[in-house]
Structure 1
Amino acid sequence: MTSEHDPAPSVQDEFLQTLIREKTTVNVFLVNGIRLSGQLTAFDQFVVLLESGTGVQLVFKHAISTVLPVIGGERAREPTKMPVSGDKPNHARGRVR
């Protein structure tokens, strides 16, 4: 049982620490759809540091939707400047009766 003075590490902290320790390449998807790629180098309560070929970016956690590790020999693609899904959803599909 953990006390208020000795809280257990959060799932988020453990996940991010593992990515940093193993120098895993990640794709970070922002809430606006932009994808950033690189390696996490540090984090705190509010931000993560993401290092890529273009330098280090300070990314606010509230802007992050998803952190996706790049698995195996798959290389991270260059970061996009536009939302990954640029198409608007097609809500005018035919109905099933």
Structure 2
Amino acid sequence: MSGQLAAFDQFAVLLESGPAAQLVYKHAISTVLPVNGRSQTREPTEVPVNGDKPNRVRGPVR
């Protein structure tokens, strides 16, 4: 599947591809790649040792 991320919530993402839109449940997604097919290298994120959940920043969905 390919498309542009149009919206998302806690359980699903909405992909737009041309005039069509597809709702995809997050639990069904295994891999996400950028359009050019190359992943960007970045430092691995640090996992808390004490079991606390990392902070999440959430913004409005357009």
- TM tier relative to shorter chain: 0.5 to 0.7
Give the alignment's TM-score, normalised by structure 1: 0.35
Give the alignment's TM-score, normalised by structure 2: 0.53
Unpaired runs of 5+ residues, structure 1, are 1-35, 72-97
Higher fraction of helix: 1
Query: Could you say which residue in structure 1 is the equivalent of 2:2?
Result: 37
* Max Rg structure: 1
Per-residue deviation, residues 53-97 of structure 1 (Å, max 9, x unmatched):
2501000000000111112xxxxxxxxxxxxxxxxxxxxxxxxxx
Kindly report structure 1 stretches of 4+ aligned residues shifted beyond 6 Å.
none
Count of residues in correspondence between the two structures: 36
Higher fraction of strand: 1
**What's the secondary structure of 2:31's corresponding residue?**
strand
- Does 1 or 2 have the higher relative contact order (CA < 8 Å, sep 6+)? 1
Per-residue deviation, residues 11-37 of structure 1 (Å, max 9, x unmatched):
xxxxxxxxxxxxxxxxxxxxxxxxx01
Indicate the RMSD between aligned Cα atoms, in angstroms.
1.1
